[in-house]
Structure 1
């Protein structure tokens, strides 16, 4: 692909673009919450800033540089509105899956810079082999951003003569690229945390998908560059952790603002005079800085290795998995502590602490930062071979 045909219309670093969107994301928070999807004004600016396309090659408007930039984007956006960060992060994965397409198919699916993408790696559909392709049907749950999406990347069990017809050993699983015209959204997303992600169910009935639009994690990568060589699983986990740190920052900043605003000369104690509040602010400040540094350093190591076309060691991958899971877990615990020490103020929706407390618990429900990944990392550290399917992908 020719880099001169780049669809990226901005010269800003992704993190700078996220900083510019930050005030808009905050001002539109109630619209996002009420509609259960990102406010149109925010979607428009995210699209114009190419933040939905960071996982693509540069020639299609992607980032293609140091992945730490994407972590900064997620953290910044999550500190404004978690649902905005979540959809940007989710688009990154949907675009990353495009690396397995041939170049012609990649151009067809990702050619429009205004497009938004959604995905589900849950194998909740069935694809039957037919001439020149597949017939796909299924119902997928938790498809974030489905109302905004122009294209979907959905995982299915492929059924053909002699192949397993249920999930389990030997099952043939593929990702299918399907346009929104084949998708029906079922309104199921009635939740507290991450309410603005619009993670409804979707249904597809007998949609034909041509063979070129079906790929697996073992499919050849069409474009060989340092970014496309990065592992999908742990980089995705790092993004989830970065969002968690952003939510922590929002809660911490809100608590500090309340301390500065609630000063009553001549009267005491104020909120800022409480020992529990002082300790929580100090603890969250150092936790945020240390976990961010560890997360960024572990991802930076993979980036360095990828640029040199080296094979990642299990320990290097484990470092990212462990940094991600611990950053997310400790961010959740710290947000809960801030929620507690802020007292009754935490109950009111006018404060970001209330939303942060809801969102952080929703973020940590994602399978990519569950405790079993710490066991996988630990296996690498003691000389065993991690055996989870996504550990190295």
Structure 2
């Protein structure tokens, strides 16, 4: 990647990463990425990555944005997770007039969603009366726009709707008390009866109204990819730390330094090979599918399944790389001040996401063998 994410931006990605590195402990302590850091992400172009070009955005090819998330996550996984929602291609399913209003102040719009559990909403004239509580709204404190999940019906072919609200219409329930990804601020959302017009709702993963290549890319698969990329960065950070630590000091007992021990070199090399191999598969299938949609064709079911498979696989392999680095690091890694603790906690949370669970292997295997997958909306 080049330093500059957007030619007109006064802030480069490298400058943002220095800020993230300096303040990442603050993110965990406050359980959110502060607004001024979100503003820096905006200025660096992170939140225009999925904005249509017709509205002044960059509509980046997925692999370009995934590399941005990976780089940020290498410095801090929570910051990478929050930045990943710059991939909100779902919004392209809104009516064009709504998108024009949404981006009227500029293309850098921060979206956060609390989409589950989907709630039933009262149908009223011209829209919906929205009320209920939703979980896991990552980055909601820095959002310009918040989406909540509504149960679909006949008009949506059973698919859930997303209703969009302004932050002042939503109560944030401060209950993000977790061991990893603490800085994501993935709190619950509560809405006390707010009217949302039809034109500010969309079917999640529905047909886009914007005809640009990015919005022909599989939206659900992309949502999984941006989360999986966090563990690419975290795994890379952990291995880099272990490599540096192994090269630089003798053991506390006076034994030879770690790099002089065969088991250390062997396990580092195995973890490196596994991470780089999974990473290559991850980006290769992303570029293949984007080339397909860019040419005007629709991605095949197999391609969609491989996107999902690559995402789950890279999340698991990234976490395994962290675990390997932690184990090799010995006693020093048990101290809370050791960065390996942060890598271990963050990577373990990424793999718990429903989009990245072991069931995805089953779904992908089913598609590869021409069997209908049992997971709803898998492809």
Please give the TM-score of this superposition, normalised by the length of structure 2: 0.91
Give the whole-Å Cα distance in 1 for the aligned partners of 2:18 and 2:55: 27
- Contact in 1 for aligned 2:117/2:135 (Cα 8 Å): no
Shift of 1:20: 3.9
Q: Match for residue 83 of structure 1?
A: 78
Please give the alpha-carbon distance, in whole angstroms, between the structure 1 residues aligned to 2:63 and 2:205. Answer: 25
- Residue 338 (structure 1) aligns with: 325
In structure 2, the partner of 1:320 is 307
Out of 328-337 and 378-387, give the one that drifted further: 378-387
The CA distance in 2 between the partners of 1:128 and 1:50, in whole Å, is: 38
Aligned: 1:142 with 2:136 = yes
The 8 Å contact of residues 118 and 160 in structure 2, kept in 1 or not, is answered as no
Cα distance, 1:235–1:9 mapped onto 2, change above 3 Å:
closer
The size of the alignment, in residue pairs, is 373
Which residue in 2 is equivalent to 1:156? 150
Instruction: Measure how far apart 1:135 and its partner are.
Output: 0.4
User: 2:210 is matched with which residue?
Assistant: 223
Unpaired segments of 5 or more residues in structure 1? 1-7
Q: 1:359 aligns with which of 325, 343, 346?
A: 346
Judged with a 3 Å threshold, the aligned counterparts in structure 2 of structure 1 residues 122 and 325 are, in CA distance, closer, same or farther, namely same
User: How far apart, CA to CA, are the structure 2 residues paired with 1:313 and 1:83?
Assistant: 33
Structure 1 residue 134: Cα displacement: 0.8
Structure 2 vs 1, CA of residues 184 and 217 (structure 1 numbering), >3 Å: closer, same or farther?
closer
Look up the match of 1:129: 123
Q: Distance in 1 between matches of 2:124 and 2:20?
A: 45
2:173–2:187: 8 Å Cα contact kept in structure 1? yes
SS of 1:147's equivalent? helix
What are the superposed Cα offsets for residues 270-302 of structure 1, whole Å, 9 maximum, x if unpaired?
Answer: 232333322232122222221111111101111
Q: TM-score, normalised by structure 1?
A: 0.88
The offset of 1:304, in angstroms, is 0.8
C-alpha distance in 2, partners of 1:287/1:130?
Answer: 53
Structure 2 stretches lacking a partner, 5+ long? none
Matched, 1:255 2:242: yes
Structure 1: how far apart are the matches of 2:168 and 2:377? 31
Cα distance in 2 for residues equivalent to 1:9 and 1:107: 23
- Deviation per residue, 1:79-118 (Å, 9 max, x gap): 00001110111342xx311111111111222333454220
C-alpha contact (below 8 Å) 1:83/1:195 kept by paired residues: yes
Does 2:107 match 1:111?
A: no
Q: CA RMSD in A?
A: 2.5
